[in-house]
Amino acid sequence: MTDRIKFLREQSLNAVNRISAERAELVTGFYQSGIDREVSVPVTRALTLQYILMHKHLCINEGELIVGERGPAPKAVPTYPEITLHSLQDLEILDTRPKVSYKIDAETKKIYREKIIPFWQGKSNRDRIMRSLPTDWHDAYNAGIFTEFQEQRGPGHTVAGNKIYQKGMLDIIDDIHESYTKLDFFNDPHALEKQEELKAMEIAANAVIMYANRYADELEMRARQLGSQDSRFRIQDTCFTSMQTTSGIGYQPSELFELAGICRHVPAHAPRTFHEALQYYWFVHLCVITEVNPWDSFNPGRLDQHLYPFYKNDLEAGILTKEKAIEILQSFWIKFNNHPAPPKIGVTALESNTYTDFTLINLGGVKPDGSDAVNELTFILLDIIEELRLLQPGSMVQVSKKNPDGFIHRALQITKTGFGQPSFFNTDAIVQELVRQGKDVIDARNGGASGCVEAGAFGTEAYILSGYFNLTKVLEITLHDGFDQRTKKQIGLHTGNPEKFKSFDELINAFKVQLNHFIDISKRQQHYCADLC
């Protein structure tokens, strides 16, 4: 790796995971205006995103080739009080956890104590949902049947498809305007709701453009200052430092102007180059995970497929070398490692300890026509995975009978080093699974796995996850005729005393009855969430 990448990698590895109050404070200030009582929920959320992107701190790390951070600095993690609210006890737990801690300074605790908690107590999405749920759900939840219920997350995630590589935000706004003209307020009872959603989409698209232009302005200003002053200057209002001050490498004014030009073009317009495509995705990524934390799993999906046309065209045009492409990709890779997962609350803050944001980049697999999708960029990305050896992003290979043996052997060489990446998934099985679900075969071939192991059609669906289900606890309930030994409540059905069962099949049948009972309770909860959210 180059000296630039060595520096950025070390900066990422050495950065301290900490909680930033910036987003929470901005969101609180915005909602205090009462705007949510004047406009629809979708428009409120879009205006919230616009406000955050307009006021959030701009972070430009020394020498990076992809710009933008979720927080004010690498590994500065935001919180989402409008979704679920961290208590002071939660913050203390996170700060003092022995292995996977999030450091919290006195000023952040003060902001939470004086501003965030007083405003959001009882008003968060989680609070409103919990108040609406029936007693049988609360009994099951308190017993441990359900876990991870909106504990600092939205109720699902998705994976980017290829639309952003074909259309800029201005093109998408044109599509929105076209959709406006198709609204039928006479015959469609949902037309007004659709109109509000379209309004929100337009606000959000313009907000992303505005955010990128803020970076372009900042980079141009830095370039002019760097060209007219000693390069050892430091600007205090961002985390930007000329690289010569610490690393000895140095940013050239031309590099900053080039980055500014990229930010000026994307995401307003469709990307033209390899570098623009990566920066475009990163702006989209940042804005998605800034607006709402989507179950920790938003990611670019099949990166080698999306980027290969840009890579190939840039090489042929002579505007990109393989070495430069690798450096840009490595800078992009490091950005993911700068983003630990936002921490949870309550019992999950105490017991669920991970920094992993579950971004899972897919490599290999098949093309839409079913042929082998492995290309030169696939192997370059495998080289990057092996060389950088970072916790994030997660990576996997989609293995199909159409793929060459060399692809599988190369992935195995990395895995056998003990790094734990990439993981292996059967593409042909994923396609079959998605087609059996009723999805189009082209969408299925364009899909893959995301998050932990969820299979889906990338760019065309969302993964709605409303909590984990504790099957072992259901078995325990079954063994006590529906009675929970911990909460001392009858939370399940009376399915009989297992001591009187005459066969193992009777136990299994009783277990299935209890399981269906709790599944029904969980399903009702999901409908409550859909209505309230």
CA torsion 469→475→478→484, rounded to 10°?
-70
* Residue 481, CB-side half-sphere exposure with 13 Å CA sphere: 7
Rounded CA-CA distance 472/533 in Å is 30
Lowest mean pLDDT across 52-61, 127-136, 235-244, 261-270: 235-244
pTM score, whole prediction:
0.93
Give the model's pLDDT for residue 157: 82
∠ CA 51-57-60, rounded to 5°: 135
What does R_g of the chain's alpha carbons equal in angstroms?
25
- Which amino acid, one-letter code, is at 515? L
Rounded CA-CA distance 173/170 in Å is 5
Q: Positive or negative, the Cα torsion across 27, 30, 34, 40?
A: negative
Surface-to-core class of residue 8, CB atoms within 10 Å of its CB (0-12 exposed, 13-18 middle, 19+ buried): buried
β-bridge mates for residue 147, sequence order = 468
Rounded CA-CA distance 69/76 in Å is 9
Q: Positive or negative, the Cα torsion across 181, 185, 188, 193?
A: positive
- Among candidate residues 127, 133, 83, the one with its CA nearest the CA of residue 523: 133
Give the model's pLDDT for residue 239: 56
Is the pLDDT reported for residue 340 higher than 60?
yes
Rounded CA-CA distance 81/120 in Å is 7
* DSSP per residue, 231-264: TT-B-TTSS-B-GGGTTS----HHHHHHHHHHHH
Give the model's pLDDT for residue 465: 73
CA torsion 310→313→319→325, rounded to 10°?
40
Is the pLDDT reported for residue 236 higher than 50?
no
User: Regarding predicted confidence, which is higher, 357 or 471?
Assistant: 471
β-bridge mates for residue 484, sequence order = 489
Lowest mean pLDDT across 234-243, 376-385, 407-416: 234-243
Give the model's pLDDT for residue 250: 63
Is the pLDDT reported for residue 435 higher than 50?
yes
Q: Does domain 3-82+85-123+160-464 have CATH number 3.40.50.300?
A: no
Give the model's pLDDT for residue 296: 63
What mean pLDDT value characterizes the chain?
92
Q: Compute how many other C-beta atoms are within 10 angstroms of the C-beta atom of residue 295.
A: 24
Query: Strand 448-450 to strand 454-456: parallel, antiparallel, or no bridges (unpaired)?
Result: antiparallel
Rounded CA-CA distance 28/31 in Å is 5
327 belongs to the catalytic site: no
Structure confidence by residue, pLDDT tens digits, 312-338: 999 999 999 999 999 999 999 999 999
Rounded CA-CA distance 153/14 in Å is 26
Those residues whose C-beta lies under 8 Å from the C-beta of residue 404, and which sit 6 or more positions away, are 372, 374
Rounded CA-CA distance 516/505 in Å is 16
Give the model's pLDDT for residue 148: 66
Residues of the chain with CATH 3.20.70.20: 3-82+85-123+160-464
Rounded CA-CA distance 465/482 in Å is 26
Do residues 67 and 215 lie in contact, with contact meaning Cβ atoms separated by under 8 Å? yes
Is the pLDDT reported for residue 259 higher than 60?
yes
Q: Copy the structure tokens of residue 310.
A: 């840009």
User: Regarding predicted confidence, which is higher, 446 or 294?
Assistant: 446
Do residues 81 and 25 lie in contact, with contact meaning Cβ atoms separated by under 8 Å? no
Q: What is the arithmetic mean of pLDDT over 23-46?
A: 96
Q: Copy the structure tokens of residue 22.
A: 């910036």
Lowest mean pLDDT across 75-84, 274-283, 463-472: 463-472
Q: What is the arithmetic mean of pLDDT over 185-198?
A: 97
Q: What is the arithmetic mean of pLDDT over 493-504?
A: 95
| Per annotation, catalytic residue among 452, 461, 499, 529 | 452
Estimate to the nearest angstrom the gap between the alpha carbon of 513 and the chain centroid: 36
The enclosing H or E element of 77 equals: strand 76-77
Rounded CA-CA distance 347/374 in Å is 43
Rounded CA-CA distance 429/445 in Å is 11
Q: Copy the structure tokens of residue 418.
A: 């003990």
Rounded CA-CA distance 372/378 in Å is 12
533 belongs to the catalytic site: no
- Among candidate residues 432, 441, 354, the one with its CA nearest the CA of residue 400: 432
β-bridge mates for residue 325, sequence order = none
Is the pLDDT reported for residue 240 higher than 50?
no
| Per annotation, catalytic residue among 148, 255, 454, 461 | 454
